Every structure is written in C-alpha cells, then in structure tokens.
Amino acid sequence: MAHEDNSKEKIVFVGDSRVRRGNGFVPPPDYSAYPGKSEAFIPNFLLKEWMVGVVVLVGILVLTISEPAPLGFPANPGATVIPVPDWYFLFLYQYLKLPYASGDYIVLGTMGVTGVAFGSLLLAPFLDTGRERRFYRRPIASSLMFLSLASIVYLTNSAWTEYKHEMAATGQVPEDVQREEKAAENRAKGLPTSSAVQAKEVVIVDKEDPAMAAYQKAGCVACHAADMKGAAGPSLRGVGDKHDKAGIITIIKEGYNNKMPPMYDTAINAGLTDKDIDHLAEWLAKQKTEQ
Amino acid sequence: MFKNVYNWIDERLDITPIWRDVADHEVPEHVNPAHHFSAFVYCFGGLTFFITVIQILSGMFLTMYYVPDIINAYASVEYLQTKVAFGQIVRGMHHWGASLVIVMMFLHTMRVFFTGSYKAPREMNWVVGMLIFFVMLGLGLTGYLLPWDNKSYFATKVTLEIANSTPVLGPVLKELMQGGSIVGAETLTRFFALHVFFLPAVLLILLVGHFIMIRRQGISGPL
C-alpha cells in the first residue's frame, strides 16, 4: 500500500499520521523520520503486545477454571422461568419495559429512541464534524455520550436488581445452580448425572412369540426391516397404538393407502396359514408404546 | 534453504510489500504504555482482536461436539461440559470470552470516541467499527440460544417478541429468524447457521476493512 510521491490528493498519509507531507521528496518512513520515542512494530512493540496478550489469556483461563460456564435444564416450553437476556442486553431489555417504550408506545421504544441512539452512534463522525478532538472542547457530543453511559449503567443495574427480586419473590433458584446440585446428589448416590432428556426407544412386545418368525417369513421384513424399525415402509414398533387386530388383517389383505400392496397372497405363498396370519395380526396389535 | 524458497516465491509474486506493510511501521510514542502509562487505553482494540481470535478457535473446537438439533443440542453441550477432556475449559473460554469481547470492544469504542479519533479523515473506519460492534452483538444473541436450556429458550422468545414489535417489517423479521411460527427446531438451526457461518463471515470481512484502513491512515495523532 505504498503511496506515490506525486499524489495530488488533499490528504496524504505517510506512516504515522503526525508526519505532514512535506514539499518535494518524502523519505520512506524509518526510525529517523519520527520525532519522539517511536518504536518499530516488529519486533519491539509486538513483544510488549505479546506480553499483554499472555497476561490476558492467563486471566481468562483463571476465570474459566474458577467459574465454569453455566448450563441449566433442557429447554421446556412448559417451564416457568423468568426470562433474562445476556448481561450486555439488560439495559435494552429494561428500557423496553418503561411505560413510554412498551405497550402502545413500543414503536417509540424500538425504533424511536433506540434507533436514534444507535443510528447517531453509527453516524457520529458525520454529526460531530468539528476539527476539535479533545472531549472537553466538544461539550455536546461528550455530554450526550456521558448521558447515554449513565443511563446504560442505571438501566442495567435496575434490570438486574429487578430480576434478583423476582427470583427471590417466587423462590426460584437459577437453573444452572439447581443442575449442579442435582448432579452432585446423583454422583454421591452413584446415579447418572445427566439432565438431558433421554429419547425412549419403543421396544418390541413379546419378541419370543412365534409371530416374530412369521413376520420374518411372510416378507414383511422387506419394507419394515428385521428390527421392525421400518425401511421403505414405516416402523411397526408401537403400531398397536394406531391399528387394532381387525384393522391390521384388512391392511394385510388389501394394502394400505396405495403405499403398501396387499401382502396376503405373498404370505400364503411363503408358507403361512390363515391361522398364522391371524396370530401375526393379533401380535402386531399388541405392539403398543406404553404397556 | 528458506531464503531460496522465499526468493523463488518473491520473484514470482512480489510478496515482500505485503508483509512489509504490516510489519514495518512505527508505533508512535503517545500510544505506547512504556512511555506514558495512560496510553494503556490504546490496548483495547488489540485486545478485542485477541479475544476474537480466542472466540474463533474455541468455537471451532466446540463445533466438533455440538449438535444443532433440539433433541441433541442440550445433551451434546452437557456431554462437552461434563465428560470431554478440557471441554469445560474450552466452553468456558467461549462463554467468558463472549462477555469479555463486548467489554473490550466497548472500552475501545469509548477510547476512540473520547479522543475524537473518529474525526476526518477516519469517518469510514468508525462506521466499519460500529458495524463490527453490531455484528458482535448479533453473535452474542444467536450464540445464547445454542445450549438450548431454559434460560436461552425463554430469552430468545422475548428477543423475537421484541423483533416482532418492529413496525411493518416486524412479523416478517420474526418469522425469518424463527423459521416458522414457534421457537423450535428450525429456530435453533437458523441461529446456529447465523452464529457459525453468516455472522463470522461478515465479521471477518469487516475486520479486514478495519485493519486495512488503520494501516493506510495510521493511528490518530496525540491530542
């Protein structure tokens, strides 16, 4: 990104911006080009930055070891939980609860004040166009910023105090604390410590029944799989919840919704008797999720 | 050996100016805490970047275990937190780093504001910096849902209600983020995609712009 010497542009930067563009030849930046005690970025200053980085990294590690990241219980839409955003959104959250920023005035809250505040922050250089840089010589910009900072501190504090009060009033304990305690209790008893919801597998009822062999023999396995969990066809585990014995016999004889062909003849050809099929249907009707 | 390899590449691609531009610049006295201790306020921008790098690295490791679906998301985070070796540390770094990066970025913004460094000719860099700030807040918002515990679920519901209250665009915005009419499976995958692909991509582009501008313009002079 070298700048050309013969540039006619109004503003020309030469390394450190304090160096004005002189007339004629501008020497390339090196140590001697700068007044004061400037330093080379590599290696001198980078070494100092690296040291600061190491100190910060150690700080973060100490924090992560002493305060593990919180985790509550799995999301459950039916739970009664006081919603609270991450701490840096608390001020906005609290602000949108104010009477003139909520309810009928919610547009004023979200678009009006918030929009103007963040919009003017985004466009600050185009609103505060004076050449003066010192903050005490820019009373309007600075006082608006101080006012915003004060309100952010106030709103964050009142949001947090309110949340604490609500928790105390309803006798709730933060869920991450509850989970820790529950896990510690279970650990002491030698039980599993997980709070995750375990997916229940539907089991095959009466797996030893001769109907299981008939199921294999009749060719049902081709679509419903040997473990009855389904392949081209749907799972038959828990099929008893949907169809009774008579319904299942009808399905075997006539097919189902044009998706499953009639299987009666196939079953007879495979060597099953009417009695076997009747028993198979009876057994399938017993396949219920809950016993 | 290395020199020969370097020269071979340099002859063809002329790479020297690229790294010299990054490496060969002077750090002026007024931003160097070794000369004036009060100049530590100039550290916050660099620290923001440092913690952003930590966030990217720890986040990459978290995705090795995280499963973005509503049945397994919580279980995978819990497994990561309690069973995986150093999983608690990596998740802790990502969790606390998310807060710290906001703190550092806030302090950096305040330094730039109160030293008037956003003034001409650096207006564009300020605007890009503010966009980085908003993207970071977006990353915090989307990442908050991912553990899929009650706290994140109910906070996200509130957030989406607030988005819904925006005039005209609100309902569309809410449905777009929510991916349907309820906070559910689709919301989680959308927030995951935003948190892991969309927002980091935007963030990296903005950061490159931020750094190119600071190299081109140099750091603002002393007050």
Residues A210-224 have pLDDT tens digits of 888 888 888 888 888
- Residue A281: both structure tokens together: 């249907």
A169: contact with B, CB 8 A cutoff: no
Q: Which fold does the domain A87-189 belong to in CATH?
A: Helix Hairpins (1.10.287)
Give residue A14's pLDDT. Answer: 52
- Cβ of A88 within 8 Å of Cβ of B102? The answer is yes
Q: Is the pLDDT of residue A244 over 90?
A: no
CB contacts, 8 Å: A194 with chain B = 75, 78, 82
| Assessment of whether the complete model's pTM goes beyond 0.80 | no
Residue among A15, A29, A81 minimizing CB distance to B150:
A81
CA distance A15 to chain B (A): 6
Q: Is the pLDDT of residue A19 over 50?
A: no
CB contacts, 8 Å: A118 with chain B = 134
Optimal mutation site among A14, A16, A48, interface B, most CBs of chain B within 10 A: A16
| B171 sits in which H/E element | helix B170-178
CATH of domain A210-286: 1.10.760.10
Identify the domain containing residue B123 by its residue range.
41-217
- Residue B162: both structure tokens together: 């607030």
Using CB atoms and an 8 Å cut-off, which of residues 227-256 of chain A contact chain B? none
Q: Which CA distances in Å does A240 have to A201, A203, A278, A279? A: 15, 12, 15, 14
Give residue A9's pLDDT. Answer: 55
A126: contact with B, CB 8 A cutoff: yes
Q: Is the pLDDT of residue A57 over 90?
A: yes
What CATH number corresponds to the domain at position B153? 1.20.810.10
- Cβ of B96 within 8 Å of Cβ of A53? The answer is no
Q: Which CA distances in Å does B165 have to A96, A104, A122, A152, B135? A: 11, 10, 23, 22, 21
- Cβ of B150 within 8 Å of Cβ of A122? The answer is no
Residue whose C-alpha is closest to residue A236's, from A210, A271, A260, A253: A260
| B26 sits in which H/E element | strand B26-27
Q: How many domains does chain B have?
A: 1
Residue among A45, A110, A193 minimizing CB distance to B165:
A110
Give the list of residues 6+ apart from residue A108 with CB closer than 8 angstroms, or none.
A100, A101
| Residue B34 counted as domain residue | no
| Residue spans of beta strands (DSSP E) within B82-184 | none
Range with lowest mean pLDDT among A92-101, A121-130, A168-177, A216-225: A216-225
Give residue A12's pLDDT. Answer: 55
Give residue A153's pLDDT. Answer: 97
Q: Which of A32-36, A237-241, B88-92 has the highest mean pLDDT?
A: B88-92
CB contacts, 8 Å: A1 with chain B = 17, 21, 212, 215-216
Gap between the Cα atoms of B171 and A196, Å rounded: 33
- Residue A287 or residue B92, greater confidence: B92
CATH 1.10.287 in chain A is located at 87-189
| Residue B174 counted as domain residue | yes
CB contacts, 8 Å: A61 with chain B = 89, 93
Note the helical H segments in chain A. Answer: 46-66, 90-95, 106-107, 114-122, 124-127, 139-169, 175-189, 210-217, 221-224, 245-254, 264-269, 274-285
Optimal mutation site among A89, A93, A136, interface B, most CBs of chain B within 10 A: A89
| Residue B91 counted as domain residue | yes
- Cβ of B166 within 8 Å of Cβ of A126? The answer is no
| Residue B122 counted as domain residue | yes
CB contacts, 8 Å: B191 with chain A = none
CATH 1.10.760.10 in chain A is located at 210-286
CB–CB of A97/A110 below 8 Å?
A: no
A11: contact with B, CB 8 A cutoff: yes
Confidence of residue A192 (pLDDT cuts 50, 70, 90): confident
CB contacts, 8 Å: A83 with chain B = 151, 154-155, 157-158
ipTM above 0.90, yes or no: yes
Q: Is the pLDDT of residue A21 over 50?
A: yes
Give residue A197's pLDDT. Answer: 78
Give residue A231's pLDDT. Answer: 81
| Residue B24 counted as domain residue | no
- Cβ of A126 within 8 Å of Cβ of B123? The answer is yes
